[in-house]
């Protein structure tokens, strides 16, 4: 343990939530192995898993939430581990501030990008609480607009060094006696040692997933959609009329697919992380719903007061060899439509950061750089700034929300049009999955390439950016093409489930 009882007691005179930590080296385990060995207590796994990606190289596993923050009928309720209400707040920012004030967290002295805090989601429909956009009344999934968990224990795994940090937060009460503090400290030490034992000596050996994705063709048989093809194409034309009349330059029209499945959420995640590795991989269990995602795109990052958005626009598939790869890149970089859309989204990102940054600090250090992922290549830019001293990190997160890449431009008018046209509420799709660190650092991704699993139905949503010269048939195909990788993932996981069932018949 890096924290002695003596140092813990000293900290307890200033703080009520105090970390104790232990570090191991686990050279032969993967994040999936680690998650499975603590699966009964685990509620999320956050990963970055693309060898060609320049971002983070950590995986985080959260165990045993001790606090929940969720929006309920316009109020933000803070509940304890037993789901009993403790506090309420009038806004999400106030709820986060209330947690900070009442739980007085001591930060661990560790070089981790995330040292604990809240993990969860903001649904796209939260825009109605931020901008002048009405709620879509057809909300069949009935998910909250904000839902975050604070975990008692965090496992942080460094992919390169193979170092695993176990971080356990001890919660004290005002007025605890030294005997009570000692008891809580010892319990935390026992918890950490128990987790170490579970990791080193697992009670069961989990079988690996075995499948061949190349032998599985995606099928839309049994898949239903929120749209009939004709209605979708009619709505593309409606948006083009709005563009023609000068309301917007672009709007991202989406359709939602529903896939019945008995596959487990974690098996779907295990398939997804292999067939579609990405800078932002996540598996989150929250309120009876599982979120399974492979997002390529940051919404906003905040690290030590520095803001960063990575607009992505412009996509081509990877080539089968270096020559074809280069041809794909040249075709992409010379496409005037792709370049114009990219510049528009860079301007949106500069505007979003400019709302919360120090005057004169907004920069675009990277403009239209090619980044290659496993299956596709994208044009990506980087917009940065320094947060204004008067701005809370949550304000900066909400200033960037939702991303222009999933709404349109101008953003508010595009969202109003989409709310009028789209047949169902988006819920998590096009919102964000994020961590909000106790230290004020935030990392968030756009909830695209994301599966929502609820009551044995997997929901997949995908959109297409509609512009003045869009062709309705092609936009319909684009949404189906974007969704097909996730639908294929679900179908592979279902095949694995069926084979398991046959073994036990």
Q: In 3D, which of 490, 54, 47 has the Cα closest to residue 294?
A: 47
Q: Give how far Cα 33 sits from Cα of 26, 28, 45, 206, Å.
A: 11, 9, 11, 8
Q: In 3D, which of 416, 406, 412, 403 has the Cα closest to residue 238?
A: 416
Stretch (H or E) spanning 416: helix 411-421
Residue carrying the six token digits 């964000």: 432
Backbone angles phi, psi at 216, to 5 degrees: -110, 115
Helix (H, G, I), strand (E, B) or coil at 381: strand
For 185-297, list the strands marked E by DSSP.
Answer: 224-225, 250-260, 280-286, 289-295
Q: Which of 256, 270, 413, 449 is catalytic?
A: 449
CA atoms of 485 and 292, how far apart (whole Å): 13
Residue carrying the six token digits 């709505």: 235
CA atoms of 485 and 462, how far apart (whole Å): 11
427 torsion bin: left (phi>0), alpha (psi -120 to 50), beta (else): left
Q: Which of 76, 429, 435, 459 is catalytic?
A: 429
Q: Cβ(495)–Cβ(211) under 8 Å?
A: yes
Residue 226 DSSP label: S
Q: In 3D, which of 474, 480, 437 has the Cα closest to residue 461?
A: 480
Q: In 3D, which of 29, 48, 284 has the Cα closest to residue 151?
A: 284
Q: Which of 256, 270, 378, 426 is catalytic?
A: 378
CA atoms of 440 and 104, how far apart (whole Å): 13
Q: Which two tokens stand for residue 471?
A: 């062709």
Q: Over the Cα atoms of the chain, what is R_g?
A: 23
Is 405 an active-site residue? yes
CB atoms within 10 A of CB 398: 24
Q: Cβ(146)–Cβ(70) under 8 Å?
A: yes
Q: Give how far Cα 505 sits from Cα of 8, 315, 499, 501, Å.
A: 54, 46, 10, 6
CA atoms of 262 and 275, how far apart (whole Å): 20
Q: Which two tokens stand for residue 66?
A: 């001790």
For 250-362, list the strands marked E by DSSP.
Answer: 250-260, 280-286, 289-295, 298-303, 306-309, 312-317
Is 5 an active-site residue? no
Q: In 3D, which of 295, 379, 373 has the Cα closest to residue 338?
A: 379
Residue carrying the six token digits 């967290």: 105
Backbone angles phi, psi at 42, to 5 degrees: -80, 140
Is 360 an active-site residue? no
Q: Which two tokens stand for residue 170?
A: 């001890």
Q: Which of 465, 479, 480, 489 is catalytic?
A: 465
Q: Which of 17, 21, 145, 405 is catalytic?
A: 405
Query: Active-site positions?
Result: 378, 405, 429, 449, 465
């Amino acid at each position: 343990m890096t924290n002695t009882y003596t140092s813990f007691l000293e900290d307890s005179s200033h703080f009520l939530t105090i970390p104790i930590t232990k570090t191991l080296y686990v050279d032969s385990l993967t994040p999936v192995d680690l998650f499975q060995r603590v699966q009964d207590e685990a509620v999320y796994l956050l990963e970055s898993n693309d060898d060609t990606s320049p971002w983070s190289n950590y995986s985080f596993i959260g165990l045993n939430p001790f606090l929940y923050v969720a929006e309920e009928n316009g109020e933000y309720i803070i509940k304890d581990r037993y789901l009993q209400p403790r506090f309420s707040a009038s806004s999400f920012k106030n709820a986060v501030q209330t947690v900070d004030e009442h739980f007085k967290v001591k930060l661990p002295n560790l070089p981790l990008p995330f040292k604990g805090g809240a993990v969860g989601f903001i649904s796209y429909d939260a825009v109605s609480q931020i901008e002048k956009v009405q709620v879509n009344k057809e909300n069949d999934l009935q998910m909250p607009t904000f839902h975050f968990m604070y975990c008692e224990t965090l496992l942080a795994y460094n992919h390169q060094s193979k170092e695993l940090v176990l971080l356990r937060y001890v919660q004290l009460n005002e007025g605890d006696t030294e005997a009570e503090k000692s008891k809580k400290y010892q319990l935390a030490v026992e918890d950490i040692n128990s987790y170490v034992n579970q990791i080193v000596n697992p009670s069961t050996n989990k079988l690996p997933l075995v499948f061949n994705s190349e032998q599985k063709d995606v099928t839309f048989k049994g898949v239903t959609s929120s749209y009939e093809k004709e209605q979708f194409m009619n709505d593309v034309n409606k948006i083009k009329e709005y563009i023609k009349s000068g309301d917007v330059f672009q709007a991202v029209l989406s359709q939602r697919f529903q896939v019945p499945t008995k596959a487990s959420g974690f098996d779907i995640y295990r398939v997804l992380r292999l067939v579609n590795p990405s800078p932002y991989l996540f598996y989150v269990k929250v309120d009876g719903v599982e979120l399974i995602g492979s997002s390529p795109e940051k919404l906003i990052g905040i690290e030590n007061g520095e803001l960063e958005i990575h607009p992505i626009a412009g996509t081509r598939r990877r080539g089968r060899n270096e020559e074809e790869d280069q041809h794909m890149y040249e075709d992409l970089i010379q496409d005037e439509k792709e370049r114009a859309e990219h510049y528009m989204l860079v301007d949106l990102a500069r505007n979003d950061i400019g709302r919360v940054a120090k005057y004169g600090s907004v920069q675009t250090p990277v403009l239209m750089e090619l980044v290659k992922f496993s299956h596709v290549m994208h044009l990506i830019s980087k917009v940065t700034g320094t947060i204004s001293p008067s701005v809370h990190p949550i304000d900066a997160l909400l200033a960037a929300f939702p991303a222009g890449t999933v709404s349109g431009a101008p953003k508010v008018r595009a969202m109003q049009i989409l709310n009028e046209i789209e047949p169902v509420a988006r819920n998590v799709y096009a919102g964000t999955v994020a961590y909000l660190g106790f230290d004020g650092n935030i990392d968030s991704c756009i909830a695209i390439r994301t599966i929502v699993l609820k009551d044995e139905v997997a929901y997949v949503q995908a959109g297409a950016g509609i512009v003045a010269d869009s062709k309705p048939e092609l936009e319909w195909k684009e949404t189906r093409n974007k969704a097909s990788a996730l639908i294929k993932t679900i179908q592979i996981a279902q095949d694995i489930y069926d084979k398991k069932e046959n073994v036990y018949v």
